[in-house]
Amino acid sequence: MNGRVAVITGASRGIGAAVARAFSERGASVGLLSRAGDDLGLDNALGVACDVRDRASVFEAVGRVVERFGSLDTVVANAGVGAYGPFLEMDADDVEAMIDINLKGTLYTAAATLPHLVEAGGGDFVSLASVAGLRAFPGEAVYNASKFGQLGFTRALDHEMREHGVRCTNVAPGGVATEFALGHGRPEEALAGMMTAEDVAEVVMFVLTRPRNHRILETAFRPMTETSWG
């Protein structure tokens, strides 16, 4: 990872922070985009306050990262929110947030970053998705909708960006024991047996360090305690 420059959204906590630390430990320069704008105290990191629901904010934040480090070749679109419960009982604000952050936020991140990856001669765009983008689950209808969209968008990008040397990958974990997993509507005990954010970061690193002559379109994984149904 030495010499690489990465942008990570939702980087102030959870999976985003774990991925940021993994990049930093391996010698990459990192732009950490989050509403908090936290740099996590990492070496060679720039924290930028950014709300991925705001397209202009994403473009401005990415521009600051490129200005600081001179280029960009790796992106992890990680920002996301979750809310759970029967669809007809969902709060309207939660519905809007999941579509705006999980789906539209990924689109805005891609629009702001992919031209820089093309200019760099190739790179990697990783969409931190979910098994909820592969299988439908009761009580997760809107979250499913946002993640199915995220998965489909990134798979389409793979077709469009391959000729530019840019690999586009969906990383789709099951349950991860973070505040995100609780979201709105889940009890604390739901975290039992889930994976850690560091587990997911290791998979992201695996994807990014594969030889450039092949690409991983999608990788899904779950904790051993999680039922694989749906």
pLDDT in tens, 11-61: 999 999 999 999 999 999 999 999 999 999 999 999 999 999 999 999 999
Q: How much is the pLDDT for 230? A: 46
Helix (H, G, I), strand (E, B) or coil at 80: coil
Per-residue pLDDT band at 195 (split at 50, 70, 90)? confident
Q: Residue 187: is its pLDDT beyond 90?
A: no
CATH of domain 5-221: 3.40.50.720
Domain boundaries, the chain: 5-221
Alpha-helical regions (H) of the chain: 14-25, 55-69, 92-97, 105-119, 141-161, 179-182, 197-208
Percent of the chain topping pLDDT 90: 82
The catalytic position among 69, 108, 143, 148 is: 143
Question: Is 108 labeled as catalytic in the residue annotation?
Answer: no
Residue 6 β-bridge partners:
30, 74
CB atoms inside a 10 Å sphere around CB 91: 12
Name the average pLDDT for the chain.
91
Alpha carbon 152 to chain centroid, angstroms: 14
**Is the alpha carbon torsion for 12, 15, 16, 17 positive or negative?**
positive
H/E stretch holding 169: strand 166-173
Q: How far apart are the first and last CA of the chain?
A: 37
Q: Residue 90: is its pLDDT beyond 80?
A: yes
